[in-house]
Structure 1
Amino acid sequence: MAEPGSLDNVRAVLAAHRTDLTRRYAAAGTGIGRPDPSGPYVISVYVTDPALVARTGESVDGVPLRFVLTGPFEARRT
């Protein structure tokens, strides 16, 4: 089993909860980030509602959530 704060663990938590997080926060997307290079990994939840950005202290399975304000994502042809 992966260490609780490891990248592998955060990937597993995100994979298990991506659909729920997207639905719960009406998120445009989710990802993994590390806001402070020496700090822990977090699950980034990309939202279009500015009110959600102020939320702090939320986590899922011990992994902190970080809300990032964004617009909708669009796939582009290359």
Structure 2
Amino acid sequence: MDAFVAMRRFMVTNAEVFQRLSTMEYHQLEMQQHLQESDKRIESVTESFLAIIHNNNNIVSPLYNKNNSNEKDINDHCGYFSHD
């Protein structure tokens, strides 16, 4: 019985500490949720960006010959003419 009385006193005297701990846990959970949402947004933007780069590479790749690439071939293919 004395143990229960001591535990009750401990709880009453430390109620503010427990309340603050509860508040900190709540804020930590909110922060984790916010970070997860931010990570999803960043991942979405990154995927979109990579898709754009991939599509642009598919457009440019026929113009770029890895074995013998030079600016003149690409410019001629695109309709740009040098005034050599």
TM over 0.5: no
Bin the TM-score by the shorter chain.
under 0.3
Structure of larger gyration radius: 2
Q: Between Structure 1 and Structure 2, which shows a larger proportion of helix residues?
A: 2
TM-score after normalising by structure 1: 0.21
Structure having the higher strand fraction is 1
